[in-house]
Structures are given as structure tokens and as C-alpha cells.
Chains A and B, each alone.
Chain A
Amino acid sequence: MSNMIEINDLRKRFKKTDAVDGLSLNVPEGSVTAFLGPNGAGKTTTIKCMLNLHEPDGGVAKLLGTESTKLGPKEFSRIGYVSENMELPEWMTVQELLNYCRPMYDTWDRDFEAKMLKDFELPSDTKLRNLSRGMKMKAALLSSLAYRPKLVVLDEPFSGLDPLVRDEFIRGLLELTEDEGWTVFVSSHDIEEVERLTDRVAIINRGRLQLDESHDALQGRFRKVDVQLDENAVPPLAKPDSWLELKTDGRIARFIHTRHDNGNIADEVKSAFGSEAKVEVQSMTLREIFVALARTYRLDNNQEGGK
């Protein structure tokens, strides 16, 4: 399986801020990858560098095997891109938008366009400026999918949408993705938005990639651990690297274990606290994993900022 997106040591700096700092990431063909991170993590900058909207200061990003700085009409005819920041020609009606875009693509599928128009319940004679935000995003999505692109890049497509619209949007996208076998790369600051949609997760923080795994692998790794300590237990001076958010309250300790697939929790607890303990392990949802990681990154950022 070839990679539709290959990013290697990508760097982009704005004045004194490293927006993207040595990011490397591969997105295999046919995968649906969530590109997650807190606000300001560098998601949008990465995507803009990928699509040649920004010129990278270092490193390489390749889409469909072509370097981002060399992307041209040929490549863009196989890429669908929708962003929350994209300027739409709002004076156009939905139909005018489609009429305008159609001649640009040899592969434009009018039947597919009609199907999506119906499925998205878009009013074709309404001007974009008179549509709700959700409907505008649907119109943008339709204009970016009707030519059956090989790669779909979505930058915060659900931002600002109410839950009902978001669910509709995701459902529509999910169906299409499954039917068409597209490679989708979707960025979001909240995993809840894309949890159902994706089968891979890449998390970025401060311009650096923190993890890049499939759902299954991620859920196999993370566990919520409750520990009941005995009287002789001593709070550890330093917790293992694989533990996150360690909290102790009397004889109860709680933490999140990030390497459950690769270790014995009971032994680690005994080693850390110096005594036997009763360990209770619970699996975690993707959202819980993401929140834990996001919280940890924020703490790390604050600490680094404090320095």
C-alpha cells in the first residue's frame, strides 16, 4: 500500500514561533486519518504546507507522490480540499458554484453530483451567502468531491457546526468514504468530531508529532488504572514515563498507562510504590485518550512556558 501523503521533517516558522517543527508523517492510501491537536498545535499550518499554500522553511511534504511546492493543476484535479477558512464565492448559488467548478475537472461526475446534492439536501438555487454555515460546508464539500478525488483533505470542517448538523455531515462523509475508498485526512481539535470517521489518529502538539497509530493500536495501549495501596506504600519520587496524570489520595492512586500492550502493570506499581497493591485496569475510549493527552500537552506547554 503506497502513501498518499508523505511528510518528512517538515518545518515552518512564523517570526519567533515554530508552527511546525520537524514533523514526519505518512498517510497510507485508503486510510481515514484524523489529524488531531489542541488549538495552535500546528494542524492548519501543516496542511497549508502540504497543499503549497505556505512554503515550508524546511523538510518535504509530498502529496500523491509530488512535492508540495510542485503541486499543479494535474495534482489538484485529484485532491479535494475543504477548509473552514476557505473563501467561497458567496454571491453564487449552489448550482452556479457547481457550474463554475465543473469545467475544471475532466473526471467530474454529474450523476454523483446530483446524488450528493440530494443526499446533502442542498437547495441549488440559493445563494451561498444565504446558507447556514453547515450548508456552506456541504456545498464546499460537494464541489470538492464530485470529481471523485483520490485524496480528500479536510481542515477543521466541523468547526462551528452544531451537533446535529455535524452528525449529518459526518454520516454523509462516512458513507461516501466507505463507498469510494478515498484516502481522507481530516484535522480537528476534538476527537469526538472525527472519532466515528477515522481509522487512524495522528496527534500533533507544538508543531511536533506526538503519536500516529491506528484506532485499535491506540486503544490497546491506553488503560485507566486505579490502585489500592497498602499501609507501607510510599508515593514515588518519579513516575515511569508511560504513566500519565498520576494522582494519589490517601491509599488510592490513579493514573493512565500508555503502554499497556507492552508491560506488566502490577509489577510496575509494585516497583513504583514499594509494596503490593490491588490494581484495577479499565479500557479507554478514544475521546478519553485524547483528552488525557491534550491535558498532558497543555501541562507540558505550561511548564516549558514557565521556564
Chain B
Amino acid sequence: MELALNQFRKDLRQFRYFLLALAVLLVVDLASNQGWTGRVDWQWPFDSTDLARSKFGWIAALITLSFVITISCFFGNSKFRENAFLRTRPCPGRSIWLGNLMFVGAFVIVPLILTETVNLWLHELPLPLVLAGTWERAMLVIPLVVIVGALVSTAESNRSIGAFVGLAYGVGLVSAGLIGLAMEFLPELFNAQRIGTTSIRFGIAICAALVLVYHAWIVSSRPRDSLRVWMIAVIIMVSEWAAVLGPQNAQLRGVAEAEVKATMATTEDERLLNAFSASLGERREDIVGMGWNPSPALKGMPKEWFVRWGACTAELKTADGQVYQAGSYPGTAKIFGRFYNLTTSEMNAMHAQFSDDAILEVQDGYSDFRSMGYRNFTLPTDGDWWDRPADLTVRGQGFAYRWELAAELKLEQGSQATTGLSKWKVLGAELQKVQNHVEIVVEQEGPGLALTDQSAFMQLERWPEHRYDFVLYDPESQVGCTMASRYANSGRVGGIPPISGRLPSCVLRSANCATTGGASIRKRCVCWCFASITWARLRRR
């Protein structure tokens, strides 16, 4: 232990300036997440190019510096390099490794984790969320640092790293598919909403295992190395599986599921499930167009609900026994990304929140053709398929959602509302006489944990799922308009690296809104914020 502490002291002295820089970056990061600094002051009128300003360079610097310190520490002290200073010194490798690990743990891992904890705590989030975010960050940082440390401090660092990168690439490609299969057979183990995290971690675990097998059996001829490497493999795999199957957001999941059960039991369950089940076995007369989008075809579905499909397969079977595999969508029930479009069913479901006489328009039209997975369900267009009776059978799962009015914003600058973790503020709203439309910019401010577009972890999603949409509504004329597609802040609880807490949430332009009310529209209109927060899981084999 004395030698490990000696190593720890030496590392601390060696990297003191790096640590200072890391501390500065962490403080800047925390400050930006809290909105103390680095805020993007969205301009009014809003210019979409301002979005680019939400990408801050310090995130890259923070990640790079963390890895530089880790790699330099483990590699610089590795006894496996033949000219290493410590190679012929009476300092056991385990003492060096322990000292390095203590140093990296205390000054890289813990600060990275604690910064997240402090960030979430300062956002006044509930304790379960703070703990969940901390857990999630820890399970992301620790295995990565341990893998990097282990790889660069082994006898065959170069080959190990090369193998890791190669395998990571290959495994990364198939891990999502494997998760999809696992979900199919063990759905209760997986939370579809955090499947992004799951697939990445699953990939890391498999990758780590394969690399270490490779290392132990082929590269390393030293039994001690192999044993050490195997121990690390076990740690990584256990921690990754703990992250996938562990208590992450368990309390929230319980709350959400209870909410869904209550909803299903008291109001909609039979109707909803019957509609869903019935629609999965529709005859082909219900199929419209050369492609098939299942969402609008759900007969009997309560109109305030809409369905997003997860993993499923579709099969077209004619009366004479011919079978056509209409395709399969191996997706992971990923509900919302950063960019999304308003589909027909979603639009209908939203309209159900208004009176039947209300007119709800979609700005710029809409398109289902960009819906995720749509093209995978293409049906045959050649031959006589369309002249024969056929059954379409779909197996899979989906999620039914319902909009709820979450907040109401007056159309005046500075108007504010709060929904869950987000604060909404009208940056500006005015009648554009020249272009004859109303324009509004709403800013969302949440626990700024969104990720960069380039990040592999961009797809991580929060729990429970939220999606917000806005309707600019004139109660007098009963005309409303909303956006066909929008860019969403993928803010979530727990994760790296946060980049910005604020994004403009919607820009509405509607000629109708402007012309029906004239200049007085600003006084009458409200901006309704709808959240798709009530959902039900639908499943059929």
C-alpha cells in the first residue's frame, strides 16, 4: 500500500497542471449546464443557424483531457515497456496499477461523476433522479476508464488497442440487433426507452470480453497478464450488465408503469388493446398505397391515442397459401429522436384535445414517409398480388401515446410556464405583416444534458418518455396550427456530455392564424404545450 501511495503522490505531482485544466473544464461545464455561463442567447427573430452555437468546444476538450490523463498515467507507468523506468525497479505491478487507479479514480472518475450529481442536485431534481443520473454517469465513465487503463498498461498495448478498436467497430454494428433479439425474448428485462444506452453497453461488454479473450489466448503469453486481464473483463462485464439490468431509474419506471396500469384499468385498456389487436390482422383492403404505414390503419383505435411501432415483422399471405414477407423492422421501439415529424395519427390524436369544430393545421404540410422504419414495410407492387385476397399479419410491439395539455403560454414576450423538468419561455411573438404570419419562439430550459450531434451517445433517452409539441391556437376562430417537424432538445437525466440547456422549441408560421385574427390575434392566441406523457405498451406475438 505504501508503494501504491507513493505512485499516487507521484501521479498527482506529474499531472497537477492537467488536473487544474480538467477542474476548470468541469466547472465551465457545470456552469453552462446551470445556465451561469455559456448560455446561447437566442435572438429574436430566431435564426436557425443559431443552433450551431449550442455546440461548445469544451466538451471535446473535457473528454480528450480525461482520456489523455488516463492514458498517460497508465501507459507512462506501465512496466511492460522494455525501457520503462519502473521495469527494473522493485515495485510490484499491482502497486503501480493500484496507485494509478487511485489517482485516476480520485481525480478523473469521481470529479466526472460528482459534477453530474451536483448538476442534477442544483437543478432541484428529485433525489431518485439525482441518484439515477449519478449511477448512469458512473456506469459510463468507470468501465471506459478501466478499459482504457487496462489496454494501455498491458504487455501488448498496441495489439490490444488495435484489437479493441476493430472489435468495437464490428460489435457496435451488431449489438443493436442483438439487443433487439434479446428484447423479443426477454422484454421484461429491458426498458425500451433506454435501449440506446443498453445497446451501447451491451456492445461494450461483448467487445471487452472478446478483446480480453483475444488478449489472453493469443497475444499474451504471460499467465499473470492473462489473469489480470480476465479479472478486468469480469469487472467490465458485471458493471455493464449492472447498468443494463440494474436499478437505473427504477423508481421512475415504477411510477410510470403504475400510471399506465391505472389508465388502462379505468378507462381505455380493453378498447385500446382490442383496437390494436384487431388492426394487426387486417385484411389487405385496409392497406393504402404501395407502402404501408401501420399507424393510420388501426381501426377502432380511440382517436386520442396514437401508436409508435417497435420491433415487429409483417407477413402478407394470400388465400392460395403464397406468403410474402413484407419486411421486418428490427428497431428497438425508439420513440423519439432529436428530429421528428408529426404523423397523421399523432395529428388526429392531438385534434382530439380540441372541440370537433376546431381546425388544426400543420405548418408546411406533413409527411409520414419520413417516419422511422416505414420503408421496411414495403409491399409487393408487381404481379397479381393486388388482385387476390390476402391477409396481413403483423407481429410485434408498439407503444400507444396520448397527448395531454401540459402548459399554456400567453403570446407575449417573457411569458413562462413549467412542465415537469422543463421551463418554457416565450422569447418573442409578433405578427409579421409583410409575410403575413405569426411567429413565436419558445425557449426550453431543462437540466441541460443534451448531447452533441456527433456523440455516439446522442440517442440516449430519458425516462419516462416525453415529447412536447406546440399548438398556436386562436379560441375565437377555433383555428390552431402546429409544426410538422421540429428539432427537439434531447435533454435527459444523467449522461455526458451536456452541451446546452436551452434550445428554441418551436417556430410557428401560419398564414391562417394571421389572417383570421389580424393584429388582435396576439391578444387572443395562446400557445398550448402538449406532452405525450401517458402511454401504454402494446404487444402481440
Residues on A facing B (Cβ under 8 Å): 48, 51, 53-55, 72-77, 79, 81, 83, 85-89, 91-92, 96, 100-101, 103-105
What is the minimal beta-carbon distance from B266 to any residue of chain A, in angstroms? 69
Q: Given A91-B14, A96-B13, check contact A104 B89 (CB 8 Å).
A: yes
Q: Is there contact, CB below 8 Å, between A76 and B81?
A: no
Q: How large is the interface on B (under 10, 10 to 19, 20 to 34, 35 or more residues)?
A: 10 to 19
- The CA-CA distance from A77 to B88 in the complex, in Å, is 9
Q: Is there contact, CB below 8 Å, between A86 and B85?
A: yes
Known contacts A73-B90, A85-B83, A87-B81; 12 additional CB pairs below 8 A are A51-B87, A53-B82, A72-B90, A76-B88, A81-B88, A86-B85, A87-B84, A89-B14, A89-B85, A91-B14, A103-B6, A104-B89
- Indicate if B92 sits at the interface (CB-CB under 8 A): yes
- Indicate if B91 sits at the interface (CB-CB under 8 A): yes
Q: Is there contact, CB below 8 Å, between A54 and B6?
A: no
Q: Given A73-B91, A74-B90, A76-B89, check contact A103 B84 (CB 8 Å).
A: no
Q: Is there contact, CB below 8 Å, between A104 and B88?
A: no
Q: Given A83-B83, A85-B83, check contact A100 B90 (CB 8 Å).
A: no
What is the minimal beta-carbon distance from B152 to any residue of chain A, in angstroms? 15
- The CA-CA distance from A88 to B6 in the complex, in Å, is 17
What is the minimal beta-carbon distance from B538 to any residue of chain A, in angstroms? 62
- The CA-CA distance from A75 to B92 in the complex, in Å, is 12
Q: Given A86-B85, A87-B81, A88-B85, check contact A103 B90 (CB 8 Å).
A: no
Against A, the Cβ 8 Å flags (1 = close, 0 = not) of B72-112 are 00000000011111011111100000000000000000000
Q: Is there contact, CB below 8 Å, between B14 and A104?
A: no
- Indicate if B228 sits at the interface (CB-CB under 8 A): no
Q: Is there contact, CB below 8 Å, between A87 and B85?
A: yes
- The CA-CA distance from A81 to B87 in the complex, in Å, is 10
Q: Is there contact, CB below 8 Å, between A105 and B87?
A: no
- The CA-CA distance from A8 to B202 in the complex, in Å, is 51
* Nearest B residue to A71, CB-CB: B88
- Hey, which chain A residues are within 8 Å of B524, CB to CB? none
Q: Is there contact, CB below 8 Å, between A103 and B2?
A: yes
A-B pair count, CB < 8 Å, reads 49
Q: Which of A51, A89, A92 contacts B88 (CB 8 A)?
A: A51
What is the minimal beta-carbon distance from A57 to any residue of chain B, in angstroms? 12
A-B contact list, 5 entries, CB within 8 Å: A72-B90, A79-B88, A87-B83, A89-B10, A104-B6
What is the minimal beta-carbon distance from B44 to any residue of chain A, in angstroms? 52
Q: Which of A53, A89, A100 contacts B87 (CB 8 A)?
A: A53
Q: Which B1-17 residues sit within 8 Å CB-CB of chain A?
A: 2-3, 6, 10, 13-14
Q: Is there contact, CB below 8 Å, between B92 and A73?
A: yes
* Nearest A residue to B77, CB-CB: A89
* Nearest A residue to B91, CB-CB: A104
- The CA-CA distance from A79 to B89 in the complex, in Å, is 9
* Nearest A residue to B222, CB-CB: A55
- Hey, which chain B residues are within 8 Å of A96, CB to CB? 13
What is the minimal beta-carbon distance from B12 to any residue of chain A, in angstroms? 12
- Hey, which chain A residues are within 8 Å of B82, CB to CB? 48, 53-54
Closest 9 CB pairs of A and B: A73-B90, A77-B90, A76-B90, A81-B88, A53-B82, A103-B6, A87-B83, A85-B83, A104-B91
- The CA-CA distance from A283 to B221 in the complex, in Å, is 52
Q: Which of A54, A75, A81, A103 contacts B3 (CB 8 A)?
A: A103
> Most B CB atoms within 10 A — which of A92, A96, A100, A101?
A100
- The CA-CA distance from A159 to B281 in the complex, in Å, is 85
* Nearest B residue to A75, CB-CB: B90
- Hey, which chain A residues are within 8 Å of B87, CB to CB? 51, 53
- Hey, which chain A residues are within 8 Å of B85, CB to CB? 86-89
> Most A CB atoms within 10 A — which of B81, B83, B89?
B89
Q: Given A53-B82, A87-B81, check contact A105 B90 (CB 8 Å).
A: yes
- Hey, which chain B residues are within 8 Å of A51, CB to CB? 87-88
> Most A CB atoms within 10 A — which of B14, B81, B82, B92?
B82
* Nearest A residue to B5, CB-CB: A103
What is the minimal beta-carbon distance from A112 to any residue of chain B, in angstroms? 17
What is the minimal beta-carbon distance from B79 to any residue of chain A, in angstroms? 10
What is the minimal beta-carbon distance from A17 to any residue of chain B, in angstroms? 17
What is the minimal beta-carbon distance from B224 to any residue of chain A, in angstroms? 11
* Nearest A residue to B13, CB-CB: A96
- The CA-CA distance from A92 to B458 in the complex, in Å, is 41
* Nearest B residue to A89, CB-CB: B85
- The CA-CA distance from A51 to B84 in the complex, in Å, is 13
- The CA-CA distance from A86 to B82 in the complex, in Å, is 9
> Most B CB atoms within 10 A — which of A48, A81, A101?
A101
- The CA-CA distance from A98 to B91 in the complex, in Å, is 14
- Hey, which chain B residues are within 8 Å of A81, CB to CB? 88
- Hey, which chain A residues are within 8 Å of B221, CB to CB? 55
What is the minimal beta-carbon distance from A75 to any residue of chain B, in angstroms? 8
- The CA-CA distance from A74 to B92 in the complex, in Å, is 10
